[in-house]
Structure 1
Amino acid sequence: MKIVPNRIIIILVVFFLQQTNVFAASGPPPPSSPPPPPGLPLDAGLFLLVIASLCYGIYKLNRIKNIKKASN
């Protein structure tokens, strides 16, 4: 059986066309950046929270003091 040169050329052309498809393929898209953190202000309610906690602490201390006085 004799190999025909036309078949070799066709095989080589198909082989090289397949290689160009591999090199022409694009990569995956770049990853998206994470969303920015929410801008929640902590300063506004923090002062009120400190004042409320001090008032509650004073209330509890006075209550304990009054209970001890009453039991004596």
Structure 2
Amino acid sequence: MIIQNKRIIASILFVLISFVCVAQGGPPPPGPPPPVGLPIDGGVLMGVCVGLFYGAKKLLFKKNKC
């Protein structure tokens, strides 16, 4: 094949592939909203604070008894 023919075929394929990509449609519709519930970020922070306080209390009272 001549280089001119290869360029024409490549151009036609590029245009056809572009049409196929456009024909795919848009993104899928968004899903349903998440269920209503309590956020866990505040509870996790409070649990860590209580755990640190409890661990420090146990360490301090253990040292006093020995």
TM-score, L = length of structure 2: 0.42
Q: Which has the larger radius of gyration?
A: 1
TM-score, scaled relative to structure 1:
0.39
